[in-house]
């Protein structure tokens, strides 16, 4: 056998893409590739892309432009585009940028090795199908290498919600839940390789309803969390992203009595105005969201809340925007993401009237982010003096320091020995700095 070929993957977008990039690297590992973290010495470069906002999608074309000299220098270099831009734009990518050899959408990654073989023979390869077969089944085989203490695990993919602004139902396809038995076995394998925390991923992860291990079922996300909690050595379970309308009672209850389920919930609401929520097709009101938060907090008072917000959705008035600020005030978020509305081709909202002036949207985003930042800081500051669990992940920047994530997902650094990496320890928080917390081992 010749020398191993080198694979460089650049990942954009959400955590699901991070998970997919790992799976693709493994799938191509079987075709003789080893991962490299340098584009300039790779034999194949894959851009695993995101289509959620215009800026995200345009990044791909500028990155491809930057690869041009590299390809000119080394014509054998293979360049591929994967992910949601690949799904949304397909062949158009090769038209706009002829240096691209391979385009593959998220539901066809299990076909990558065959596609690579075609590309190696000098052909172009394109696959943006939504095939019947389960990509995860063939993508499942991971090499038995050790890995870091925290891992992503995709349990559900696709979305049937069709929010008026969103491309995900088109790029990821219909909502599909993986069978629980496969998830449990993947989790056991991860634990055997050093993983202590899994974050279950899905575009609507709390809508999970996969086949139960014993054939009865389906299992809900709460059932899955309890099933995973029974795995010895797995210490923490997280999940993201959830939709308010799928926040079932058994899941709320699991936050009260399943110790391994971490007290953190990413529950996007997008807007605090009922008029805008309706136009967005979110199918709930601001009041229903606030009532839900109250029910969750009644059972898990310390739960950390996180959200996503869009400003400048078509038709959003100053009053609608004030209602969003009021909702944020009422919830008190520990963490949040916020965006200016970006019209996406093919989505219902892209065709609508009521365009919000860019300067207005920019100013709204600034005010919203200032409020969220104040909340975030205050929530972080309130951790000082408290005792929390921390899963240590790596050495810190200072000598003799280790860093990890608290139960509430804050970065925490403490003075401590390296051999605690991979373990959960109790820590007393002593200081809140700009991006992290400082603590002491108890
Ligand atoms: N499935 C998740 C996340 C979807 S994408 C959910 O339902 O919440 C992540 C976030 O990107 C969304 O929550 C939304 O806030 C933002 N987003 C999606 N489409 C957008 C668009 N066209 N313009 C601006 N932000 C958008
Ligand atoms: Fe997009 Fe809405 Fe589905 Fe989330 S729930 S992925 S925002 S369509
Ligand atoms: Fe982006 Fe696709 Fe994720 S559009 S946010 S990479 S599902």
Condensed to tens digits (0 to 9), the pLDDT of residues 218-244 reads 999 999 999 999 999 999 999 999 999
Handedness of CA 173, 174, 177, 182 (dihedral sign): negative
Nearest-atom number in ligand 1 for the CA of 337 is 15
CATH fold of 387-441 reads OB fold (Dihydrolipoamide Acetyltransferase, E2P) (2.40.50)
200 by DSSP, 3-state: which? strand
Q: How far is the CA of 420 from the centre of ligand 1 (A)?
A: 37
User: Where along the chain do the CATH 3.40.50.12160 domains lie?
Assistant: 5-127
* Average pLDDT, integer, range 287-291: 98
| Ligand 1: nearest atom to the Cα of 349 | 22
Nearest CA to ligand 1 atom 5: 52
Out of 13, 165, 166, 348, mutate this one to test ligand 1's pocket (max ligand atoms within 8 Å of CB): namely 166
Closest CA to 7 of 82, 57, 77: 77
Mean pLDDT in residue range 296-319: 98
59 lines ligand 3 (CB under 6 A): no
For residue 380, what pLDDT band results from cuts at 50, 70 and 90?
very high
Q: Is 196 in the pocket of ligand 1 (CB under 6 A)?
A: no
Ligand 2 mean position, distance from CA 203 (Å): 7
- How far, in Å, CA of 149 to CA of 422, rounded? 5
**Probe target for ligand 2 pocket from 50, 51, 161, 244, with the most ligand atoms within 8 Å of CB:** 161
Residue 140: per-residue pLDDT: 57
Is 84 marked as a binding-site residue?
A: yes
CA atoms within 13 A on the CB side of 60: 34
Helix-helix angle 180-192:221-229, to 10 degrees:
30
In the predicted structure, residue 133 carries a pLDDT above the cut 80: no
* Buried residues in 214-231 as b, exposed as e (16+ CB within 10 A): eeeeebbbbbbbbbbbeb
Percent residues over pLDDT 70 in the chain:
98
Mean pLDDT score, 24-34: 89
Pocket flag, ligand 3, residue 168 (CB < 6 Å): yes
Distance, in Å, from the CA atom of 194 to the CA atom of 189, rounded to the nearest integer, reads 9
Report the pLDDT value the prediction gives residue 273, as an integer from 0 to 100.
Answer: 98
- Residue 338 DSSP SS3: strand
Question: Cα of 165 to ligand 1 centre, how many Å?
Answer: 8
Q: Whose CA is nearest to atom 5 of ligand 2?
A: 161
Tokens, residue 422: 């991979």
Give the Å distance between the CA of 258 and the centre of ligand 2.
27
Residue with tokens 């034999």: 43
Q: In Å, how far are 82, 101, 248, 296, 373 from 303, measured between CA atoms?
A: 36, 47, 16, 8, 18
Which residue is it, tokens 């892309």?
49
Ligand 3 atom having least distance to the Cα of 85: 4
What confidence tier does 138 reach under pLDDT thresholds 50, 70, 90? low
Q: Is 258 annotated as a binding residue?
A: no
| 32-88 tens-digit pLDDT | 899 999 998 899 999 999 999 999 889 999 999 999 999 999 999 999 999 999 999
pLDDT of 434 above 90: no
Q: Does domain 5-127 have CATH number 2.60.40.10?
A: no
| CA of 223 relative to ligand 3 center, distance in Å | 27
Q: State the pLDDT confidence band at 411, using cuts at 50, 70 and 90.
A: very high
CA-closest residue to ligand 3 atom 3: 14
pLDDT of 146 > 90? The answer is no
Asked whether residue 50 is marked as a ligand-binding residue, the answer is: yes
Domain with CATH 3.30.750.210 in the chain: 146-262
Evaluate if residue 437 carries a pLDDT over 60: yes
Task: Choose the weakest-confidence range: 13-17, 33-37, 137-141.
Answer: 137-141
Contact 156, 179 (CB under 8 A): no
Q: Which residue's alpha carbon is at the smallest distance from atom 4 of ligand 1?
A: 203
> Which H or E run includes 293?
helix 286-299
Residue nearest ligand 2's atom 1 by CA? 166
At 16 the pLDDT is 96
**With 0-12 CB in 10 A as exposed, 13-18 as middle and 19+ as buried, what is 441?**
middle
Instruction: Please state the pTM of the whole predicted model.
Output: 0.96
Cβ of 53 less than 6 Å from ligand 3: no
Q: What are the tokens at 227?
A: 């099933």
Distance in Å, CA 84 to ligand 3 centroid: 6
- At residue 209, does pLDDT exceed 60? yes
- Compute, in angstroms, the gap from residue 74 CA to the centroid of ligand 2: 41
- What is the chain's mean pLDDT, rounded? 95
- What is the DSSP secondary-structure string of 124-171? -EEE----SS-HHHHH---------SEEEEE-EE--S---TT--HHHH
CA of 344, nearest ligand number = 1
Nearest in space to 386 (alpha carbons), one of 366, 365, 408, 369? 408
- pLDDT given at position 51: 96
Q: Is the CB of 228 under 6 A from ligand 1?
A: no
Q: What is the CATH number of domain 146-262?
A: 3.30.750.210
**Closest atom of ligand 1 to CA, residue 167:** 19
Residue 168 C-alpha to ligand 1 middle, in angstroms? 8
Q: Give the C-alpha separation, 417 to 419, whole Å.
A: 5
d(CA 374, ligand 1 centre) in Å? 22
Between residues 143 and 317, the one the model is more confident about: 317
Beta-ladder partners of 8: 45
Nearest to 27 by CA among 51, 9, 3: 9
What is the distance between the alpha carbons of residues 152 and 141, in angstroms, rounded to a whole number? 15
Contact 116, 139 (CB under 8 A): no
Check residue 173 and give left, alpha or beta (phi > 0: left; psi -120 to 50: alpha): left
């Amino acid at each position: 056998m010749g020398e191993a070929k080198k694979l460089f993957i650049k990942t954009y977008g959400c955590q699901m893409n991070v998970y997919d990039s790992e799976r693709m690297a493994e799938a191509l590992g079987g075709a003789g590739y080893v991962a490299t973290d340098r584009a300039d010495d790779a034999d194949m470069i894959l851009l695993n892309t995101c289509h959620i906002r215009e800026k995200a999608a345009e990044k791909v074309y500028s990155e491809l432009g930057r690869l041009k000299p590299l390809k000119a220098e080394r014509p054998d270099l293979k360049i591929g585009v994967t992910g949601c831009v690949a799904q949304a734009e397909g062949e158009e990518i090769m038209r706009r940028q002829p240096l691209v050899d391979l385009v593959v959408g998220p539901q066809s990654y299990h076909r990558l090795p065959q596609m690579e073989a075609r590309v190696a023979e000098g052909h172009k390869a394109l696959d943006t199908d939504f095939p019947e077969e389960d990509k995860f089944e063939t993508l499942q085989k991971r090499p038995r290498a050790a890995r870091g203490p925290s891992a992503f695990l995709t349990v559900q993919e696709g979305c049937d919600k069709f929010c008026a602004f969103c491309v995900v139902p088109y790029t990821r396809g219909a909502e599909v839940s993986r069978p629980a038995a496969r998830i449990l076995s993947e989790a056991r394998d991860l634990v055997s390789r050093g993983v202590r925390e899994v974050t279950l991923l899905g575009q609507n992860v709390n809508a999970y309803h996969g086949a139960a291990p014993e054939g009865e079922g389906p299992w809900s996300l709460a059932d899955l969390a309890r099933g995973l909690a029974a795995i010895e050595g797995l210490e923490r379970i997280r999940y993201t992203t959830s939709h308010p309308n799928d926040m079932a009672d058994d899941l709320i209850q699991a936050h009260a009595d399943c110790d391994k389920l971490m007290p953190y919930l990413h529950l996007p609401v997008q807007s605090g105005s009922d008029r805008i929520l309706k136009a967005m097709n979110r199918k709930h009101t601001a009041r229903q969201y606030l009532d839900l938060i109250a029910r969750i907090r009644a059972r898990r008072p310390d739960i950390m809340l996180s959200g996503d917000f869009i400003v400048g959705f078509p038709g959003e008035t100053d009053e609608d925007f004030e209602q969003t600020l009021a909702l944020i005030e009422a919830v008190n978020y520990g963490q949040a993401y916020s965006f200016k509305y970006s019209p996406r081709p093919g989505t219902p909202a892209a065709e609508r009237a009521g365009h919000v002036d860019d300067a207005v949207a920019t100013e709204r985003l600034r005010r919203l982010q200032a409020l969220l930042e104040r909340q975030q800081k205050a929530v972080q500051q309130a951790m000082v003096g408290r005792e929390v669990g921390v899963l240590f992940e790596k050495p810190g920047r200072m000598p003799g320091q280790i860093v990890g994530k608290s139960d509430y997902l804050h970065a925490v650094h403490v003075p401590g020995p390296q051999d605690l990496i991979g373990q959960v320890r109790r820590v007393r928080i002593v200081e809140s700095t700009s991006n992290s917390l400082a603590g002491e081992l108890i």
